[in-house]
Amino acid sequence: MNFLKWVYSGIVVSVVIVLIGVLGQGKLSVSQATADDAERPVHADIVKVEQTFSLVEFDLSKKAHLLRKTRLDFYIAQAKQADLRGWKFKRDEFVERAENILSHHLTQNANDVIRNTEPYTAHAI
């Protein structure tokens, strides 16, 4: 009899977990935009990050560059979704992450250029 109680309790708990997962889908994360959301303007910080992102060059043959570009695409898309939903804190968090990645990428690019030009300048002297 005790075994049947455990089986029934397990079934009930499993059904409750499945129902919560199905009914609560997307309630705790940033959901996707609908067609009418595309016409709404986005926050100025997002526009600024997108403009900077469009000017930055990525060498997609390098794994680090590919990863940074993918992460930037993700964070900008999430910032737009959060902005459309009115989630200012989330929007600002995603914009800040994107800005940090851009800053890191530009710093790394500058360091790589300096490192690659040092042998030429030392040789020319």
Rounded Cα–Cα distance for residues 69 and 105 (Å): 9
**pLDDT tens digits for range 55-111:** 988 888 989 899 999 999 999 999 999 999 999 999 999 999 999 999 999 898 888
What is the CB neighbour count within 10 angstroms for residue 76?
19
pLDDT for residue 36 is more than 70: no
Q: What single DSSP character describes residue 26?
A: T
CA dihedral 18, 20, 23, 28 (to 10 degrees): -130
| 23, two tokens | 């009914």
The confidence score (pLDDT) of residue 115 equals 82
35 band by pLDDT with thresholds 50, 70 and 90: very low
Amino acid letter at 79?
Answer: A
Q: What single DSSP character describes residue 38?
A: G
CA dihedral 17, 21, 24, 26 (to 10 degrees): 160
**pLDDT tens digits for range 107-122:** 988 888 788 777 666 5
Q: Where are the domains positioned within the chain?
A: 42-125
Cα–Cα nearest to 49, from 99, 101, 108: 99
The reported pTM is: 0.63
